[in-house]
Amino acid sequence: MTYRAPFLLPLIALSLAACGSQAESEADALADAVEQQANADALAAGSEIAALGMTEAQLLEANLVTPSGDDLGDVEQIRRDASGAVEALVVELDDTDPDRWVAVPISGLSARRDGDDVDVQTSMTAADLAALPDAQMTMPVAPTPAG
């Protein structure tokens, strides 16, 4: 005797949707945490030049743009080498779902002034950036209160 359970298909679909929702929620939480950390880092950054003639705060507030000024993404983190020199900028790429971050090497980048704004310019295209491997992102760790 064959037992058919027509209710299983909607149940499976609901389970898969819940998994998708969980993954989407986690991705959203990571994106929010990375942005909050970037904002905190920008506030804490000093006025010393970090790279490209820009302070760390300016870098963290910058967009990555093409030579014509088209926005490719937002700088979210600064990656430094063992000596403390900036070696890459982690950029959240525009128009990706789920959110995607890539580490863009500092070589080949330049500062681009547009009025009072300073952005980071690249000769890379959106396709070039999309071909870069995903940057390893982790949830920022909240500092523990002193006590």
DSSP 63-107: EEE-TT--EEEEEEEEEE-TTS-EEEEEEEETT-SS--EEEEEST
Position 137 scores a pLDDT of 78
Residues facing residue 49 across a β-bridge: 55
* Per-residue pLDDT tens digits for 49-104: 999 999 999 999 999 999 999 999 999 999 999 999 999 999 999 988 888 999 99
Position 27 scores a pLDDT of 58
* Per-residue pLDDT tens digits for 90-147: 999 998 888 899 999 999 899 999 888 899 999 999 999 999 999 987 655 555 555 5
pTM confidence score:
0.66
Cα(76)–Cα(72) distance, integer angstroms: 13
Lowest-confidence segment of 37-41, 46-50, 68-72 by average pLDDT? 37-41
Give me the numbers of helices (H) and strands (E) for the chain, helices first please.
3, 8
Position 14 scores a pLDDT of 44
* Per-residue pLDDT tens digits for 6-19: 444 444 444 445 55
Q: Are 128 and 104 in contact (CB under 8 A)?
A: no
Cα(89)–Cα(7) distance, integer angstroms: 50
Position 133 scores a pLDDT of 95
Go through 43-56 and write b for each residue having 16 or more CB atoms within 10 A of its CB, e for each that does not.
eebeeeebbbebbb
Position 142 scores a pLDDT of 53
Average pLDDT over residues 33-50: 64
Q: Are 107 and 122 in contact (CB under 8 A)?
A: no
